Amino acid sequence: MKPTSLLILAAAGLFAGILAGFLGIGGGTVLVPFLVAFNYTPVQAVGTSSLSILITAISGSIQNWRMGFFSWQRVLAIGFPAVVTAQIGVWIASRIRPSFLLVSFALLLLLNIYLVDLRQRLSARQPVGDREHTQSPIAKSIARIATGGAAGILAGLFGVGGGVIMVPLQMLLLAEPIKAAVQTSLGVVVITGMSACVGHFLKGNVLLLEGLILGFGGFLGSQISTRFLPKLPDRIVSLAFRALLAILSIYVFWQAWQKYNINQ
């Protein structure tokens, strides 16, 4: 691999790592489209992204823990269901047409814009604290299992850590403020990323060199962004999250169209 290519991969990982710390995502929403643009197959992009995500999420979660913004109880309650369902996502990803995989990913991004907006509208009608008191322990457990299960499937299927769905679902189902959801999400991404990475590695979908370089960049980026997240207003974090999803969905739709035309 040429030195220029190595630098580009490291820069992409750095950018994804910064987004991971700010938005609670593993970075797959950026890395999968990036790797597809570099002519890797969608399933290679998904598998390689999962390795980078694992490194990035570990880095960011360690920093959140050191700063006192890490809840083991929340992370494990959502993470355990994700371990199981991530393998379902890996199985589906290995059997789906590349163009359809990309279209599904783009639709997921658009869905999450709606979910974040829906949660904000609900919060405006009912304060978060009031809703937390009305939720029973059983309802919270079911909500965390549903959130983790959905995140795990997406981790295996799309090569994302699951944060793109975990952040909105925590806000919607568990009444979490966005920054708490981001910090918990990044911790769960460690679990989903590990499960998805192992599954893809066993199927030969992980490119080690590319994944490690992306992960190194992500390691540095997440260290930077997790230090600044607590200082940002919730409104700014929410706006950045939705803007990122909108831009990426347009790009992924375009990539899917390109793949579809090539296969015709």
Count the Cβ atoms, other than its own, within 10 Å of residue 84.
Answer: 13
More confident call, 49 vs 164: 49
Which has the minimum average pLDDT: 65-79, 164-178, 179-193?
164-178
As given in the structure block, the two tokens for residue 30 are 């950026």
Are 59 and 218 spatial neighbours (Cβ–Cβ below 8 Å)? yes
Question: Average pLDDT for residues 226-235, to the nearest whole number?
Answer: 76
DSSP letter for 25, please.
-
Q: What's the rounded Cα separation, in Å, for the pair 11 and 250?
A: 22
Residue 131 · residue 157 · CB < 8 Å: no
Residue-level pLDDT at 213:
92
How many whole angstroms separate alpha carbon 164 and alpha carbon 23? 9
- Region 34-61: mean pLDDT is 84
Contact 241, 170 (CB under 8 A): no
pLDDT at 125 (0 to 100): 58
Q: Are 156 and 93 in contact (CB under 8 A)?
A: yes
Selection from 82-91, 184-193, 197-206 with the highest mean pLDDT: 197-206
Confirm if 261 and 128 have CB atoms less than 8 A apart.
Answer: no
Interval 55-66 mean pLDDT: 84
Kindly tell me if the per-residue pLDDT of 115 is higher than 80.
no
pLDDT tier at 123 (50, 70, 90 boundaries)? low
When computed from its CA atoms, the radius of gyration of the chain, rounded to whole angstroms, is 17
Q: What percent of the chain has pLDDT over 70?
A: 86
Average pLDDT over residues 32-41: 82
State residue 76's pLDDT score: 87
Alpha-helix runs per DSSP H in 67-177: 72-93, 98-125, 128-134, 137-158, 163-173
Check residues 163 and 138 and name the one with the higher pLDDT. 138
What is the total count of domains within the chain? 1
Structural domain of 229: 3-263
Of 1, 46, 13, residue with least CA distance to 218? 13
* Residue with token string 């987004």: 19
Lowest mean pLDDT among 152-166, 196-210, 219-233: 152-166
Place 264 in a pLDDT band, splitting at 50, 70 and 90: low
For 71, which DSSP code? -
Q: Which residue has the higher pLDDT, 118 or 71?
A: 71
pLDDT score for 199: 84
Signed CA dihedral, 7, 46, 198, 71: sign only: positive
Residue 134 pLDDT > 80: no
